[in-house]
Amino acid sequence: MVRGAFCFALAALVSLAVPSAHQRQSGELRLGGTPLELLAGRGSLWALTCDRGCTGEARQSVGRIVSIDPRSTRIKGSAVVRRPQELAVDAGGVYGLDFWRGYVYRLDPSSLRISGRVRLVLPFQIVPGDDDFLPEFVAAGEGAVWVSTDRGVIAKVDSGARRLLAIVRLPPKAPGNLAAGAGAVWVAADLAGVYRINPRTSRVRARIRITRAGGSLAVNEILLAGGEVLAVGGWTAGTVLTNANALARISPWSGRLEGVTPLPAGGPLAVTVGAGSLWVARAGGSTVERIDPHTGKLVARYRDAVGVSLALAGGRLWTVSRDGTLRRLRNLIVRRGSVARSLPSSRSGLVAQRRAPPRAVSQHRFAAMASG
């Protein structure tokens, strides 16, 4: 399913919902709807949901952007949106996309009201009369907002989402998920690997392919942690995708591949970064792995039920389930460079522990869609 798009008839609703005593104690919050994305940024958790009309092309879907205080499990604000698609949060604001109408927009992070939008079109026609951009992924950083479409284009928009600054051409079907930071824009490009874009010149500087005998890593997620560029994807046998997943570590300075680490097999995976680590789990699984982004080695393994995504906020790791329940993982308190247990539990616990590197990033991204 195309994860909808986003029309800007935003009815920004500030909700001051007070969690129940049970919610405060358990760290649970019933958001409802189908979760599409979970992020951490600006000291809050951010959830994107689809509430109705979410099947098929989702041209009439309706959902919400919800801001949550991770310390009180309290909803700070929410906005009803049409055709929810994709979300990015950074110091400059909250950004999203309208797939069918081609908009990238900025929301004020306090009021959740739209403060800017730009309609994107292709600089060419796919067929006569078709120059629709169809934006899929958005990232903020390096002084701009970056939007990708699998039609072979990356758009650079100013941080206020008021004007288009540049267009970067890539091969069709190549652009996917992207991240902006460490002096470049990094684009997951499936079997093509990872593209590195100079944010000042808006030109492609390099393409990094990740290969092994008989196949390539089909990269579908890019994250930044500990001064490293982390590419997550699945191995192929020839051009056929297998169930073997892997993490590739890329130097942001040289663009060279530093190493490849196996990740839990099967998929999809839920991944996030924070506290100087990469956190990985199978969506719907029962184990979370903490990985050192410098070495690719396992730092800790923690057992708890995982939903469809992960995010780290307020010193705790959070997950959201398919039924729209946001939940804090039990007994896991994340500190810079370490993992500490809280009260013991028969259902979950810390299995292994090693020293982790210092925290280097504060933005968290999500890799597993609710549709799985």
Q: Encode pLDDT of 332-355 as tens digits.
A: 666 654 433 332 222 222 222 222
Average pLDDT, the chain: 83
Contact 233, 271 (CB under 8 A): no
The per-residue pLDDT for 358 is 21
- Given a cut of 90, whether residue 220 has pLDDT beyond it is yes
Mean pLDDT confidence for 88-114:
92
**Which of 299, 320, 228, 318 shows the shortest CA–CA distance to 44?**
318
- Given a cut of 80, whether residue 232 has pLDDT beyond it is yes
Mean pLDDT confidence for 15-44:
77
- Calculate Rg over the CA atoms of the chain: 19
Whole-angstrom Cα distance, residue 259 to residue 10?
44
pLDDT tens column, 103-136: 999 999 999 999 999 999 999 999 999 999 999 9
- Given a cut of 50, whether residue 5 has pLDDT beyond it is no
Residue bearing tokens 């597993």: 368
Q: What residue ranges in 238-293 does DSSP mark as E strands?
A: 240-250, 257-263, 269-274, 277-282, 287-291
Q: Give the pTM.
A: 0.83
Mean pLDDT confidence for 13-27:
51
DSSP H or E run through 29: strand 28-30
What CATH number labels 120-263? Answer: 2.130.10.10
pLDDT tens column, 252-283: 999 999 999 999 998 799 999 999 999 999 99
Neighbours of 353 (CB within 10 A): 15
The segment(s) of the chain belonging to CATH 2.130.10.10 are 120-263
Whole-angstrom Cα distance, residue 77 to residue 252?
36
Whole-angstrom Cα distance, residue 99 to residue 151?
13
Name the pLDDT band for 37 (thresholds 50, 70, 90): very high
The per-residue pLDDT for 38 is 96
Whole-angstrom Cα distance, residue 173 to residue 50?
26
The per-residue pLDDT for 84 is 86
The per-residue pLDDT for 12 is 38
Query: Chain centroid to CA 263: how far?
Result: 18
Name the pLDDT band for 15 (thresholds 50, 70, 90): very low
Mean pLDDT confidence for 55-68:
92
